[in-house]
Amino acid sequence: MTVLLWILAVLALPLVIAALWFTGVFVKELFSPSPPGPDATALAAERLGLLPAERQDTEHAAPPPAAWSAALAAARGGDWAPAAELLRANGRDWERRSVLTAELGTLAAEEDGWLLAWEAARPDDPDAAVVRAQSTVRLAWDLRGARQARYTSREQFEGFGRMLSAARKEIARAAELNPEDPTPYVVEIWVALGLGCSHAEMDELWERITSRAPYHYGAHYAALQYWCAKWRGSKELAFDFARRAAERAPVGSLLTVLPLVARFEHDETTDVAADSTPEMLSLVDAGLADAAACAASDPGRPGLAQLRHLLAYYLHLQDRHAAALEQFRLVDGHVDALPWSYRGEDTASYYCRVRNETVGMVAETV
């Protein structure tokens, strides 16, 4: 009988061990708080007034001015006069002129009846001419598509080249009609990039721009794309261009974004520690000072939102979550900016995932 009891005890031992293990797990889960999951961080973001992915604007980096929206709406309805008046009233604010021209050119690339009417009414209007040049360049890039060269057909490349060549004539005409305006030359950067113009040609074009607007944000952003390895330059050339431009520019010019863009465009590592080096910390701190100075003097300046988006991203990677959340709160609702915009249809969801991670990390420290 004793032997039989010993046998039964040995057989029951694994069941006893398993029961104790499950009991321990249950007690641990009962008394230990779980880290917030994706739903919890999304709810926390909502409580802060931050918007879900489906309510993010993926066509703008910041809210467009009301007057711009009204002029674009009028142009869609066939009335070009508000757009013409807006460009006239803008005067020599070259940065806003470039951005507004890009908005109007994008619209004209889709449907240009209103622009044709404008050109017919005012044949030598430099504002209409620069919008036409911009629209042709935009149409060329639309014909090419956004995919890599190996996925782009010969027909697409041929149409792309023809449209860019046509745009050069239109750019030259716009520049002739308004010699002080750097906007036609800013537009031409995208032609130089697409046609593969030489570095010497790009240097000559750059001189034309900077002699008219030495710290033009949009021009610097476009030129940096030219110097990137994926287009007509290299990692070294891109970093050198970005560094020199940022060092020479006054605080508030927003050009501290350039080294961050260069870093993002050439980042081939998954090592987050590489984003927290003393150099990267210094670049982000410079960007914060630049953004603060710009916000104090011109809070609606083109480029400020793009800088804030990149600051939020790199502050998050540097575990500076409170500072990252501050930037997220300033840009939330409009996400057509690096680093999110390269995700295509996932732009808004990617933005919200990183933002909500930041919200969760801040909540853990409170």
Instruction: For the chain of 366 residues, list the mean pLDDT of each consecutive stretch of 10.
Output: 44 45 38 52 94 96 96 98 98 97 97 97 98 96 66 63 90 98 98 95 98 98 97 97 97 98 93 92 98 97 97 97 98 98 94 97 86
pLDDT of residue 154: 62
Angular region, 145: left φ>0, alpha ψ -120 to 50, beta rest: left
pLDDT of residue 144: 67
pLDDT of residue 365: 81
**268-297: pLDDT as tens digits:** 888 888 999 999 999 999 999 999 999 999
pLDDT of residue 79: 98
Give this prediction's pTM: 0.86
Contact 321, 354 (CB under 8 A): no
Long-range (24+ apart) CB contacts under 8 A made by 279-285 are 280/314, 280/318, 281/318, 283/256, 283/259, 283/314, 284/260, 284/311, 284/314, 284/315, 284/318, 284/320
Q: Which residues pair with 57 in a beta bridge?
A: 334
pLDDT of residue 204: 98
At a CB cut-off of 8 Å and minimum separation 6, what does 220 contact? 245, 255, 258
C-beta atoms surrounding 321 within 10 Å: 20
pLDDT of residue 6: 46
pLDDT of residue 148: 59
Please tell me the distance from the alpha carbon of residue 226 to that of residue 352, in angstroms, as a whole number: 30
User: What is the phi/psi pair of residue 92, to 5°?
Assistant: -100, 20
pLDDT of residue 146: 58
Structure tokens at 239: 């970093």
pLDDT of residue 147: 53
The vertex-304 CA angle with 300 and 307, nearest 5°, equals 165
